[in-house]
Structure 1
């Protein structure tokens, strides 16, 4: 007999269409994912996933697509049941790793201060997956780096901020402004900053795979940006925090990259509970955006890090 864990595994496989990626995101082994998925299919007497040699990705069968709708609802109901004992409202936010430190602490404090008996659930994912989470009611609010049309999802601009160059202490600097030609691609710690940035980046440098290292998690940048000559391009708010440690210096780029835009996404048909929470939270989100937009100018170059 299958349980909520099996349902969660199937949903992640359906989302990634890749056993390895599903296992990585669930922090379990590939063999466990394959075994539990097979046991679920046997319990249901259905083939949910099409497998075959030479296939680049898994595919859901028609039965799998039909069951995915049921599985999402089962998972949602299971999570609600887990919190019934405590009579707490659950509010889920799907966020990018690069926004977690910037936005989540303040939002958490605000919500718990203004809404009693609230359980806040934070899901860290990629922009594309966040659309899926919101559309499937697995997340009530999402933060993404691009706007797109998506079934049953409402998208609205949140805030934008400039992108700047961050370099480790000891790097020889030409001044507070640099050009793309001064930045060697093999020294780049590449960090994705949205589609418009990607297009701009590829006009100046080869594909990200030619960089020193390519990341999808901005939290890793301070751990890897540690050798003189290295560089990365980050949003001004994160760059400012790194410079404040005394281990990094900042430069503007000329010509500048496009600003980094962040968007709020919600379901077009939220539950009454979610709608009430959003009514409380929305003014605070607007206040946060106004604060970031008003302080989004380029931070000053840290003179103490000038090369010698």
Structure 2
């Protein structure tokens, strides 16, 4: 495997088609196809779903895994290529779920970048259950997981805990601040899986998650769906506060509230000086984070 193969694969994913990738890289489409085939043959995998008549590309299960490896390969290649120019810099790799990155820590990342000289941040999105493995394998330096685990040589500290609330498209006039769970229809729910404790609570009121009609996996998809009348979703208060501040939703507490969610900062023991600096600055920002995740006060 070489860089041109990785570059071609990533360009296909980023642009959504082989033809656009070929145009971007100034090579023929057959060259792009050959590079992709070479990777698949070398590792005996199929990376892309090839459906007749469908122009856009989608990743197979193996393709999803390879995509994460390809991103790391790209980062390492770039660092190696620019080693001389960036000899005084350090790259700190951070992994977390989408909702933590975008609604809780985005301003903290900016603070880290501006207050600690000569560092570069590589911020990646991962599922909570992947974070511990990636830390253990030294694939990321600092992780933020919604799960608490005990793992040898890994340090875990609770960073924050936040309330879960219900949101719905904003209406004119006054609205009730608390809602009976039984008044909410599962047919109108935008379901996001917030973890095992949340699923157990959810099943008590609306039955198995298979009863829900729309399931999404990122908070950013909520905006369009919430445009439809009576659609509702349960989200962490950090997301609710962001949407409410933009005038998009009303926020409600439930009579039987969902369990709160906790976020844990995960690191390898004995981290180097630069990683430790970043870690300590994030932990020192708990007051700022606390303001973002403070309980909703109707």
TM range (shorter): 0.7 to 0.9
Paired position in structure 2 for 1:16: none
Pairing of 1:80-229 with structure 2 (within 5 A): 80-84=79-83, 85-87=85-87, 88-150=89-151, 152-170=153-171, 175-229=176-230
With normalisation by structure 1, the TM-score equals 0.71
Q: How far apart in 2 are the matches of 1:273 and 1:83? A: 19
Q: CA, structure 1 residues 165+173, in 2 after alignment: closer, same or farther (shift >3 Å)?
A: farther
Q: Deviations over 1:92-129 (max 9, x none)?
A: 11121112222343222212222222211110121122
C-alpha distance in structure 2 between counterparts of 1:144 and 1:24, whole Å: 26
Correspondent of 2:42 among 40, 43, 46: 40
Give the alignment's Cα RMSD to 1 decimal: 3.7
Q: Is the 8 A contact 2:179 2:254 kept in 1?
A: yes
CA contact 2:170–2:248 (8 Å) conserved in 1 = yes
Question: Is the 2:103–2:242 contact (alpha carbons within 8 Å) kept by the matching residues of 1?
Answer: no
Q: Which residue of 1 aligns with 2:296?
A: 298
Give CA deviations for 1:253-295 in whole Å, capped at 9, x if unaligned.
01111111111111234234323433444322x33344345xx
SS of the residue corresponding to residue 113 of structure 1 reads helix
Residue segments in structure 2 that go unaligned for 5+ positions in a row: 19-32, 47-60, 63-68
- Distance in 1, matches of 2:221 and 2:79, equals 34
Conserved 8 A contact 2:199-2:209: no
Alpha-carbon distance in structure 1 between the residues aligned to 2:155 and 2:212: 35
Which structure 1 segments of 5+ residues have no match? 11-22, 42-46, 50-56, 59-68, 301-308
**The residue matched to 2:246 in structure 1 has which SS?**
coil
Provide closer, same or farther for how the CA distance between residues 105 and 28 of structure 1 changes in structure 2, counting only shifts above 3 A.
same
| TM-score, normalised relative to structure 2 | 0.73
Aligned residues: 262
Runs of 4+ in 1 over 4 A off after TM superposition: 4-10, 23-29, 31-34, 71-77, 170-174
Shift of 1:203: 1.7
Secondary structure of 1:123 counterpart? strand
Match of residue 275 from structure 2: 274
State the 1:220 CA deviation. 0.8
